[in-house]
Structure 1
């Protein structure tokens, strides 16, 4: 474990950047994804069109292309670091998949509940927030959990734009130490430290919700 001991501070810096990017992208993609899922099922034709276009565009463009576009093109207009470009790209890309998961959850809720809520004086947004979304998220938890785990793994995209994440630091360590095998084993273990607890927590939530049902 010479690599780990010698490059401990560098690895921890990368680990911190990966955690931060993942957390920001997780929150951002959940908010954006939920917003566009609601737009997809709204009564507004314009809202549905915008929601569908957003989801289809970002689902069908590779994450690398999105990130490089932000870093090499958008950054010329709006100054941003590789970390910011990578995190924004990760957020946009993941939000499209989360939107589909949340939309499926919304559609699984009996339409009569929305109609009943509207008949009792609630607006569409109020009914969605109070009645529909809580049930939709219960249904969508397994899919959302998988998306969050994929998000953490996809955060390695920051390495392509100098985002100072785990993969970026790992590449530098491998190049300087010439011990690529040990380096990437260590990097993989760091990712497991994040994804394994998340995976077990999602499974715990699934079991808890099944018992409550």
Structure 2
């Protein structure tokens, strides 16, 4: 127990150091922030491309490209700064952490400068101001006039956005339904799971114009100050970079590029998406998602088996210190959510080493799997009768020879089915890596939903693909299981 307490004590100290370092990194940006970006030659932009017309993906000739009003603004800013724009995709609720930990240089993704966000990051001037509309089913058009018409009704909004706060503050009689993805909320609205969906006017009109079953009303929300508009978030203390970007925003507004060029271009590209919304048209998206899912699963399986087997051998050994450390690792990993582990590795370790989202996600899934695999190995080995070990030792076999020739061949019969279940679960668990922008099957599903305005069909395709993967793997595992049983 003493060793375990020391381990958790060291872990706590490490977490505190990470938090302190991250806090220091946030405030390390000074007036050289612009010079550092120009020296680096790139401006990394955090973006969640499922929010048309601000940001979304188009599928042209089998190739995917992120486009939209915010992307056009980002390109103009990078041009003015004399650097190359790099768009880093990730979930909306991960972007603030990404900015604070240095994964991105700015957030340009329909972000509003709320008072809570201003405590952690700096904001540029607002580049676009829109009203807040409520999307409703066209059949309900006569029932609702504004936000006051939804007393006792369910109203949806994307978690972490201005509309989400507005529903809480200015629609007290409504029941708030929060989700992380706008496409899911639109699907819920069309299925009559919610009665209205609050979004900014540009996005709301985009959804309504692309779906004949939807329409919009002006919510007549009261939004004060800068929170009424969208701005670009930058690390705390980025004074020189903020001033430079503000100058670009001023030039964009003076030329009225948003209304004259950026929004019309986004509208045309949205029409391109909705011109062909068949799932076959998006086969490359799903194929890419399957590729990432399978690749991450295979590497994570290797990590999980090797590390898990090692942990199991340590735990059945007699070295107390190593036994305590292995036990602490297994209990800690099993006692914390995989989502938190993914974010910790990507953002936490990322403060010291620039680790990619794919590597971080794969490593997190593999390390998580190892904790469960170790228990599978340990229980399988311990299920072999003690007499087998004693008999082998009496014949003069060493501990290593006993394990290799007597214990493990018998244990594998017990281990294999449980190990197979863990492999199958691993394929499904990889979906969690989409939160840090890994283009797995779930991430691609979200993109197709946003591009085509179809909620159910992309889900069905993803379900079928997951089933094919897991069913095929289960048949292969059963084949080897039968072989093991016949051999014994």
TM-score normalised by the chain length of structure 2: 0.42
Query: By how many angstroms is 1:207 displaced?
Result: 4.0
Q: Which residue of 2 aligns with 1:25?
A: 300
Is the CA contact (8 Å cut-off) linking 2:342 and 2:360 kept in structure 1?
yes
Is the CA contact (8 Å cut-off) linking 1:39 and 1:47 kept in structure 2?
yes
Distance 1:122 1:53 in 2: 32
Q: Secondary structure at the match of 2:367?
A: helix
User: Which of 267, 286, 292 lines up with 1:11 in the alignment?
Assistant: 286
Q: Which residue of 2 aligns with 1:154?
A: 429
Is the CA contact (8 Å cut-off) linking 1:81 and 1:163 kept in structure 2?
no
Is the CA contact (8 Å cut-off) linking 1:28 and 1:91 kept in structure 2?
yes
Out of 6-15 and 121-130, give the one that drifted further. Answer: 121-130
Distance 2:413 2:400 in 1: 19
Distance 2:288 2:377 in 1: 34
User: Which of 64, 75, 89 lines up with 2:364 in the alignment?
Assistant: 89
Distance 1:93 1:107 in 2: 22
Is the CA contact (8 Å cut-off) linking 2:277 and 2:452 kept in structure 1?
no
Distance 1:129 1:161 in 2: 41
Q: Which residue of 1 aligns with 2:439?
A: 164
In terms of fraction of residues, the more strand-rich structure is 2
Q: Which residue of 2 aligns with 1:201?
A: 476
- Return closer, same or farther for 1:113/1:71 CA change in 2, 3 Å cut-off: same
Given the alignment of the two structures, is residue 188 of structure 1 paired with residue 486 of structure 2, yes or no?
no
Structure with bigger gyration radius: 2
Q: Which residue of 2 aligns with 1:107?
A: 382
Query: By how many angstroms is 1:105 displaced?
Result: 0.3
Distance 2:322 2:402 in 1: 17
Higher normalized contact order (CA 8 Å, seq sep 6+, divided by chain length): 1
- Return closer, same or farther for 1:3/1:119 CA change in 2, 3 Å cut-off: farther
Q: Secondary structure at the match of 1:163?
A: coil
Query: By how many angstroms is 1:184 displaced?
Result: 1.0
Is the CA contact (8 Å cut-off) linking 1:105 and 1:136 kept in structure 2?
yes
Query: By how many angstroms is 1:123 displaced?
Result: 4.3
Number of corresponding residues: 213
Distance 1:130 1:181 in 2: 53
Distance 2:435 2:278 in 1: 22
TM-score normalised by the chain length of structure 1: 0.91
Query: By how many angstroms is 1:164 displaced?
Result: 1.2
Distance 2:410 2:326 in 1: 21
In terms of fraction of residues, the more helix-rich structure is 1
Structure 2: give runs of 5+ residues left out of the alignment: 1-275
Distance 1:3 1:84 in 2: 32
Query: By how many angstroms is 1:17 displaced?
Result: 0.8
Distance 2:398 2:413 in 1: 22
Distance 1:67 1:111 in 2: 40
Query: By how many angstroms is 1:54 displaced?
Result: 1.4
Is the CA contact (8 Å cut-off) linking 1:24 and 1:87 kept in structure 2?
yes
User: Which of 448, 452, 458 lines up with 1:173 in the alignment?
Assistant: 448
